[in-house]
Amino acid sequence: MTKEQVMKELEKKGSDSIKKILLNHGCKEPVFGVRIGDLKVIQKKVKSDHGLAMDLFATGNYDARYLAGLIADESKMSKKDIQQWAERSNCSAISQYTVAWVAAESNYGWELGMKWIDSPKETIASSGWNTLSGVIAMKPDNELDIALIKKLLQRVVKEIHSAPNDVRYTMNGFVIGVGGYIKELTKDAIEASKKIGDVYVDLGNTACKVPSAPDYIKKMEAKGYIGKKKKTVKC
Q: Which residues contact 53 (CB under 8 A, 6 or more apart)?
A: 68, 69, 71, 72, 73
Q: How far is CA 121 from the centre of its chain?
A: 16
pLDDT of 159: 98
10-residue mean pLDDT series, the chain (235 residues):
97 97 95 98 96 98 98 96 97 97 97 98 98 98 98 98 98 98 98 96 92 96 97 96
Supply the pLDDT for residue 29. Answer: 97
Position 205 scores a pLDDT of 87
pLDDT of residue 198: 95
The domains of the chain are located at 1-72, 92-235
Query: Residue 96: its pLDDT value, please?
Result: 97
* pTM score: 0.97
DSSP, residue by residue, 172-219? HHHHHHHHHH-GGGHHHHHHHHHHH--------SS---PPPHHHHHHH
